[in-house]
Each structure stands twice: as structure tokens, then as C-alpha cells.
Amino acid sequence: MRFYEFESKKLFGMKGIPLPSGSRVAKSAAEAKEIAASIGGPVVLKSQVLSGGRMKAGGVLFADTPDEAVAAAEKILALEINGHAPVGVLVEGRAPIDQEYYVGVTWDGFARQPVMIFSDMGGIDIEEVAEKHPEHIAKRNFSTLAPFSEFMAKELVAAVGVSGGELNKLTQITTRLARTFIEHGLTLAEINPLARLADGTFVCLDGHVDMEDEARDGQKALLAKLEIDPQEKRQARPPTKFEQDGVVVDSADHRGVAGNVVEFDGDLGLVIGAGGGSLTLFDAVRKHGGRPANYCEIGGNPSVSKACNLTKLILSKPGVKKIAVMMNVVSNTRVDIVARGVVKGCVELGFDPAEKIAIFRIPGSWEGDGFQILEHYGVEYCDRSVSMFEAAGRAVAKMKDA
Amino acid sequence: MSILISKDTTFIIQGITGREAVNMTRECLDYGSKIVGGVTPGRAGREIYGVPVYDTVQAITSKTRVDGSIVCVPPAFTRDAVFEALAGGIQIIVIVTERIPRFEVAQMVEMAKAKGARIIGPNCLGVLSPDEAKLGGLGGRAVDAKKAFTKGPIGVMSRSGGMTTEMCNTLTAAGLGQSTAVSIGGDAIIGSTYADLMPLFEADQETKAIVIYCEPGGRMEAELAAYVVEKNSRLPIVAFMAGRFMDEMPGMRFGHAGTIVEGKADTTADKIEGIEAAGISVAERIEDIPGLVKQRLGMS
């Protein structure tokens, strides 16, 4: 879950990482004016969206007076960036900058440990610095078992050639950032740029925080302090109504998964699983020229009612003509239970399962019982001798006459 | 031969009295696996399909040899269970549990490394060596597992548990049995990556080729490619790459926890380019895998 900039900064502020003066988020232009007035000098106003390219899109504006701040806030609040409407405008004091740095903590997939990254070339894409100016970047892994100690941050910062009073200040900020990463289940904690102002102090000009979903249960207190709804799913785009309904279906009971629904604009509804199987099947449908209406995942042996309600949700989506029910060879999900659920879903909506279910391809545990049900309703099914790819092809072929 | 487990592997199940674990106990016993005990705190004295239940791992390791453990406890208790198994000197730990915070997974992996033990998973279905044993839910009931998995020369590794069975089933149908199939887990950080397990397959003289299932996200495929080039591996590898549609949808999480496109290196296009450059064959469809394997082995 990505944090908005103002949430990232609020978290950093709580941890003693210095922020620009008066940094606060406004929901209205009037509120922005108040904040600007209380700062009492030049300010920067920044659109709060979960999208890159804010500066280019006109989502970052400067103001020298509270009245200018009102005009800027109005513009920003009305501006959608890459389809995202801003949730507010961040207002903060602007001061002359001497130098920009980069400091970040994230996971190192190779080392399977966190990694701290520091550069004295901040404000630009860190991957670009790594490529073009490797001497200006330092990285250091740290243990997840040994306590984090300040010297680790000091070694990192010193490796780029920073010394003097700056070294101590940067060590402290980096240490605080690393501890925040550890304490709060983050997958990214980044300050870019971290600015050294003309008066020698450091401030976090922009911050990025990503928290993994798995950590959220343990972070309820923090999320409450940041006023983030613990149920809120934040992906690259906000969830659609259809996707929210999918969450309701999946959370109706704790048995198995029949959810992770993602909306697409096609005509073939997909009742598919599990994690890897869904990815494989979605690719297969598209390869055959099919147009999926959705992505979803079934797994872990969901109840009949869950499979039924997922089927109904997908069949009720405008434009869906048929559904394809497909999985890899299953081990713990029972074929008969899924068969019963999808047939029930069709019948409850007044559809003929034989007509609505383009193909049923779930081989594996209890398949004999499952196939018997499908046989009874005249639904086309296949066993493991038909590949996932071929099954997807059969479903897509049926859509041509649908 | 096989890697990691054989007929003689003795293991325990931590969290054995849970609903899924009870089923798994039955499946593993039916497949011929040697389960020497189970652990659920407060439930000592019970039996699950004849397997005695204890309060602690130590109660079992103090009196009998235990090679492995399947950890099947809720996410909040997993780290402790794994540390307990490691403290008991257990060498192979299969973590079935999903949704464990990444930091805790990293701690378990780091602790296992310090102890010279191996973790498979988390968020996996375990390990199966056909006609030897299975540790975990892979393949489901013994009768089903025997349909999909047969003994032979192919080592299988997969980030998806379900696709492990699907691929082995396809190999079996084409007359290509498996030495050992490993569901390595779908999380961003896992105990044993493809590259971690490669030396074991290299050392197993009966393994002649490797088949892997890959998806977007993470650096595991890049790590494998680097390994293959650096070690000049004797084993030809055939890979299947799922989730190609995700390349167009950065930032969206599909399937497993570790499956997300955050940067160019996470895309299937980039991964395919990397592994092909290392001499790994990439199958477009699952059913193309056996043909590519036979071709690489000079069988066709």
C-alpha cells in the first residue's frame, strides 16, 4: 500500500525526520490559504495523488503570498493527474537549497535482507544515478536479526565521501529512516530529495512509503494515527464497484479464496484459479484473442456459496455473455464443490448452466463427483488431458456465436 | 534418487491439529511419508491418524531423529514455530503458511542460514519426490498425487503450488517423470530460490533436466540466469512464464504476494530476455514443455 506524500511525511515527522516548515495537507483552497498564512513566507503547493509526473502535469506550484496560495490550490485541486483526482494539496514552506541527497531503504531480493541506499545526487531517479554515476551511490544491507546500529548508516553515508558535520546529520536521518522501515513493515521508505538548506539544516522535500499488505494487521495503531482506513486497498488505481463487490463475496466466510477480482472490459467472464493458474489462464484467453471481463482467483477450497456468489457477481456484470471456469490440476480445492457453486450461481440467476458456462476445466481432487454434476446439467467439461491453453481456446471459440 | 527428501526422511508437522494440517497428515501418510510426530501447544497426548501430538518440538527431537518439519500454523505464530524447529536442529523446514510479514520471513531465512538449515516456502505446497515421500500438500490426496507425479529425470521448481502439479502432470503424460518437484513459494522473499536449489539437482545424478514455472516480480529468475552462466550448469532448463499480461499493468498485484510489476526488471519481457540469454528455453504454453525438454536432452 503506497502512502500519499503527506502521509509519508507525517510518518517521517513522527520519527524525528525534519520536514519543511509548516508542512500540512489542505482539503480546500481556504484551508491552503490558512496554512500559507501561518507559514508566513514563500510556499510550495503539491497535489496529493498516487501518480508520478506531478511536476510536469502542473500539480506542483509556488506561491509567495496567501492569496497566491489560494489560486494555486484551486488549480491543483481541480487537476486530475493520469486519471487520479487529488485527495488534497500539501502546503509547506520553501527555502533556498544548497544540495540535494537521496536516501532510501527497501528490500534486496538477492540478499533477502533490507538494503539502504544513499547518494549525494538527489532529486533525480536513483536508478539513473546508479547507471551513470556509480561513484555517487552507496548501498549497504543490514541484518534482520541483529539490532540496527547507527554505525551501519554512518558507513553508508561515508562511503560516498561525505564527512564533517553533514556526516553526523545524515547518519541520524538515515538511521531514523531505517528504523521506521523495520518497525512498520515497510517495503519502501525513501526521501528524495533530502535537501541541505542554505542554513545548513536538512529537510525531507519529498517522501515515498510503501507498506506491505501482510504487515497491516500489526500496524493498526500507526494507520489510525495517519487516518488511513485499515480496509482501504491502494493499488495503482482505485478499486471499481465491481472489485469492491468481489471483496464482499470473498470475505463472506473464511473458507478458501474466491476473490481478488480485477475488472476488465471484455465479454468473457473468468472464474479461474489459483495464484499461478489464474495468470496462466488469463494469458491463454488473451492469446486466443478472447476478451476477459475480469481476473479472479479461486483457491484453498472455498465453500459452495462463495463459488456461487463469485459466479453471480461475474455473470451480472454488464456485457458478460458467458463464463469460463478453469483451473490448473487442483490438490486441495475440490472440483465437485466448485462445480456445484458455479452451477448454482447460473441457476439462481435464471440461466441455463449449459449455455452460460463456456467450458469447465478443473481436474484434480474429487473430479469424478464434479464431472457427474456437470454431466447432469449438460455443461461442457474436460479433464487433465485437455491443456489449460486448449480449454481457454474452446471458451473463446464459443464467444464468436454468443 | 531425489533431492531434499526420500523414503527415509522423518518429519513432524507443526500445527498438526489444524483443519488443513489434519488433511495433509492423511495425504502424506498415504503417500508413504514418515511422520514421526506433530506439535500443537496444549494438545499433547492426542493422535492424528496415529501420529502422536506433542506440546513442543523438543519433546520429539529429544528422543528421535527428525529431518524435517512442515510448518502449518497461523501467520502470527509462524516465526516462533520456525525458530523452535531450528533450535531443535531440524534441517529442512517447509513453511506452508501464507501472509507472513516480509521482515519476519527474512528473519527466518537469516536464522536458517546461520544454522545451516534450509527453508522451503513460505506460501508453498511443499516438496514431492515421486515414489519416495511428500512433505506438504503438493499433489493433494495420495491417489491424486500418483496420477500427476511419476518418478523420472526431471527436477521441477515452481513459484506456484498449483502449477507445480499441472506441469508435473503434463510431463508425466509425455513420459517424463520427475526426480523431485519443489513448490518454492509465491512470496517476495522465500527460503530457497531456483538458484539455491540448483546445486542439489546438479549433485543428483538421476536429474537430467530442470523445468521451472516463473512469473512477474522479484529477482529469482535473474539470480538463476546468473547462476547458470557462472557455474556452467550441466542441466538444461525449460521455463514457463505466466502473467505476461501484467507487463502492461505496473503497480497492480495479481496472484502471489511476490507478483507485481514495479520496474522494468519485474516484467516478463525483461525476465524472458535474461533467462534466454543464459541458455534457458522458454515455453509459450505448458504443453510445449515436454517437447522442449526432449529436444534439449536430444531425445527427439
Residue A286 has a pLDDT of 97
Cis upstream peptide for A397 (omega within 30°): no
pLDDT in tens, A305-317: 999 999 999 999 9
B300 has pLDDT over 70: no
**Cell numbers at B86, concatenated:** 531450528
Question: Measured between CB atoms, which of A113, A218, A262 is closest to B106?
Answer: A113
Count of residues in chain A: 402
Tell me if B241 sits within 8 A of B272, measured CB to CB.
yes
Nearest to B258 by CA among A296, A275, A216, A96: A275
Mark whether A249 and A366 lie in a shared domain.
yes
Task: Tell which B residues from 256 to 285 touch A, by Cβ distance under 8 Å.
Answer: 256-257, 259, 263, 285
Nearest in space to A335 (alpha carbons), one of A370, A385, A296: A370
Instruction: Give the CATH number, domain containing residue A27.
Output: 3.30.1490.20
CB A278 within 8 A of CB A272: yes
Residue A268 counted as domain residue: yes
**C-alpha distance from residue B18 to each of A244, A352, B47, B81 (Å):** 30, 39, 13, 14
- For residue B212, the 8-state DSSP code is E
Asked if B141 lies within 8 A of A385 by C-beta distance, the reply is no
Instruction: Identify the bridge partners of residue A298 per DSSP, sorted by sequence position.
Output: A258, A273
Whether A12 maps to a domain, the answer reads no
A65 and A148 assigned to the same domain: no
A315 shares a domain with A211: no
Same domain, A250 and A355: yes
What average pLDDT is seen over chain B?
Answer: 96
Whether residues A84 and A128 share a domain: the answer is no
Cell of B159: 513459484
SS (H, E, C) B84-151: HHHHCCCCEEEECCCCCCHHHHHHHHHHHHHHCCEEECCCCCEEEECCCEEECCCCCCHHHHHHHCCE
pLDDT at A53 over 90: no
B113 CB contacts (<8 Å, ≥6 apart)? none
Pick from A328, A334, A338 the residue to mutate for testing the B interface (most B CBs within 10 Å).
Answer: A328
Please report, for the domain that includes residue A313, its CATH number.
3.40.50.261
Q: Strand A186-197 to strand A207-211: parallel, antiparallel, or no bridges (unpaired)?
A: antiparallel
Partners of B141 on chain A (C-beta within 8 Å) are: 331, 365
A85 and A221 fall within a common domain: no
Asked about B202 being catalytic, the answer comes back as: no
B20 touches chain A (CB under 8 A): yes
Q: Which CATH class is domain B10-296?
A: alpha beta
Q: Please report the residues numbered 240 through 259 in chain B whose beta carbons come closer than 8 angstroms to any beta carbon of chain A.
A: 240, 242-246, 249-257, 259
Q: Please classify residue B18 by burial: count the beta carbons closer than 10 Å to its beta carbon, then call 0-12 exposed, 13-18 middle and 19+ buried.
A: middle
The terminus-to-terminus CA distance of chain A in angstroms comes to 39
On whether the CB atoms of residues B77 and B160 are closer than 8 A, the answer is: no
Helices and strands of chain B, counted as H and E runs: 10, 14
Strands of the A257-263 sheet, one edge to the other = A257-263, A294-299, A268-273, A322-327, A357-361
Chain A partners within 8 Å of B102 (Cβ) = 107, 185, 187, 212, 214-215
In A, which residues are within 8 Å of B255 by CB distance?
275-276, 278-279, 297
Rounded to whole angstroms, how far apart are CA atoms B169 and B191? 25
pLDDT at B274: 96
Q: What is the pLDDT of residue A231?
A: 74
Is the pLDDT at A230 greater than 80, yes or no? no
What band does A68 get if pLDDT is binned at 50, 70 and 90?
very high
Is A107 found in the same domain as A86? no
Do A247 and A394 lie in one domain? The reply is yes
Nearest neighbour of A109 by CB, restricted to B111, B188, B213: B188
Model confidence pLDDT, tens digit, residues A335-375: 999 999 999 999 999 999 999 999 999 999 999 999 999 99
| Last residue within a domain, chosen from A51, A72, A93 | A93
Residue A200 and residue A55 in one domain: no
- Residue ending a domain, among A171, A198, A225, is A225
Interstrand relation of B92-95 and B68-71 (parallel, antiparallel or unpaired): parallel
Strands A268-273 and A322-327 come out as: parallel
Spacing of C-alpha B180 from chain mean position: 10
Q: Tell me the β-bridge partners of A357.
A: A323
Q: Tens digits of per-residue pLDDT, B94-153?
A: 999 999 999 999 999 999 999 999 999 999 999 999 999 999 999 999 999 999 999 999
Residue A14 forms part of a structural domain: no
- Residue A240 DSSP label: P
Same domain, A245 and A115: no
Query: Does A247 share its domain with A348?
Result: yes
The percentage of chain B sitting over the pLDDT mark of 70, rounded to a whole number, equals 100
Report how far apart, in Å, the C-alpha atoms of B6 and of each of A88, A149, A301, B61, B72 are. Answer: 60, 44, 29, 19, 21
Structural domain containing residue A176:
97-225
Q: B158 vs A276: CB contact, 8 Å cut-off?
A: yes
Rounded percentage of chain B residues whose pLDDT exceeds 90: 92
Specify whether A320 is located in the same domain as A278: yes
Per-residue pLDDT at B137: 94
| Nearest-neighbour CA in chain A from B197: distance (Å) | 14
Write the pLDDT tens digit of every residue in B43-78.
999 999 999 999 999 999 999 999 999 999 999 999
CATH code of the domain containing A117? 3.30.470.20
Q: Residue A384: inside a domain, yes or no?
A: yes
pLDDT surpasses 90 at A285: yes
Q: Looking at CA atoms only, how far is residue B115 from chain A in angstroms?
A: 13
Q: Say if the Cβ atoms of A274 and B161 lie within 8 Å.
A: yes
**Domain count of the fold of chain A:** 3
Q: Per the CB < 8 Å rule, is B255 touching A299? A: no
Q: Does a structural domain hold residue A7? A: no
Rounding to the nearest 10 degrees, give the CA dihedral for residues B121, B104, B193, A332. 20
Q: Cβ(A31)–Cβ(A238) under 8 Å? A: no
For the entire predicted model, the pTM comes to 0.94
pLDDT at B90: 98
Nine-digit cell string for B182: 519443489
Mean pLDDT of chain A: 94
**Is the pLDDT at A287 greater than 90, yes or no?**
yes
